[in-house]
A and B are shown apart, each in its own frame.
Chain A
Amino acid sequence: QKEVEQDPGPLSVPEGAIVSLNCTYSNSAFQYFMWYRQYSRKGPELLMYTYSSGNKEDGRFTAQVDKSSKYISLFIRDSQPSDSATYLCAITDTGGFKTIFGAGTRLFVKA
């Protein structure tokens, strides 16, 4: 079993749709959760991060963590064509020394 499971997609949605991206993880020792966005042929950029269970909102983006079920989500409201990218979830252990990335979900937002 992989430590982080993420559906690679691709996921295609129309402009304005609400997008839901999800990951599951297996090891409860990982306490920090992040979402990265990666455009084609570029390095990932940090989108959101959180530690605790619950929701964290930043503009059109909401990160959700459910530690009890080891499930993390990223919601994108009013999706735009510029949101088209690969979204990677990542988890980090308490010491911040080991980060595991999901496979990444390729998102296409059609105009």
Chain B
Amino acid sequence: GAVVSQHPSRVICKSGTSVKIECRSLDFQATTMFWYRQFPKQSLMLMATSNEGSKATYEQGVEKDKFLINHASLTLSTLTVTSAHPEDSSFYICSARDRATGSAYGYTFGSGTRLTVV
């Protein structure tokens, strides 16, 4: 089945530094990838939709200058948390949809990245 690789799985960084998270579709091409944030015991909150070759679409309330998204190829999207602060500590998850199937179902999720800003 479709596999999405996300790394790092865990990262601890100092306040003020930037962190890059990668999301790769391993066996399929994804024109669209999604970035979510999840706080403990809460659901997934969509942050932005990443489209290959174009600018990402951010959800209301998400700072695009803080959460930089790049979708440079059909298999890779990156999320960079710039000038991270402790309140950015969270679980970040990406998902991707197979371009070939175009299915409305079953976006494949990465395994998530636990970011801790100290």
Contact (Cβ within 8 A) B105 A41: no
Count of B residues near A, CB < 8 Å? 25
Residue pair A96, B104 in contact (C-beta under 8 Å): yes
A88 CA / B104 CA spacing, docked (Å): 17
Q: Which of B106, B108, B110 contacts A49 (CB 8 A)?
A: B106
Contact A43 B43, beta carbon cutoff 8 Å:
no
On whether the beta carbons of B43 and A104 are closer than 8 Å, the reply is yes
> What are the interface flags for A26-55 relative to B under an 8 Å C-beta threshold, 1 for contact and 0 otherwise?
000001101010000111111001000000
Residues of B within 8 A of A96 (CB): 97, 102-105
Decide: B105 and A46 in contact? CB cutoff 8 A: yes
- For A13-37 the 0/1 string (1 means CB < 8 A from B) is 0000000000000000001101010
Chain B residues, Cβ within 8 Å of A41: 91, 112, 114
Name the distance in Å between B87's Cβ and chain A's nearest Cβ: 20
Cα distance A36–B109 in the bound complex, in angstroms: 10
Tell me if B97 and A43 are in contact (CB < 8 A): no
Check B106–A34 contact: CB distance below 8 A: yes
A25 → chain B, closest Cβ, in Å? 13
Q: Would you call A92 and B104 a contact (CB within 8 A)? A: yes
Total interface residues in chain A, CB < 8 Å = 26
- Interface of chain A residues 69 through 111 with chain B (CB within 8 A): 88, 92-97, 99, 101-104, 106
Considering the complex, give the chain B residue whose CB is closest to the CB of A103. Answer: B43
Mask, B16-45, CB within 8 Å of A = 1, is 000000000000000000100000011110
Task: Give, as a whole number of angstroms, the nearest-CB distance from A85 to chain B.
Answer: 13
Q: How far is the CA of A42 from the CA of B34 in the complex (A)?
A: 16
A96's nearest neighbour on chain B, judged by CB, is B104
**Cβ of B77 under 8 Å from chain A:** no
Q: Is B93 an interface residue (CB 8 A)?
A: yes
Given contacts A41-B91, A42-B112, A44-B93, contact A102 B43 (CB under 8 A): yes
A residues near B (Cβ < 8 Å) are 6, 8, 31-32, 34, 36, 41-46, 49, 88, 92-97, 99, 101-104, 106
B-side residues, CB < 8 A to A, are 4, 6, 34, 41-44, 46, 49, 91, 93, 95, 97, 102-112, 114
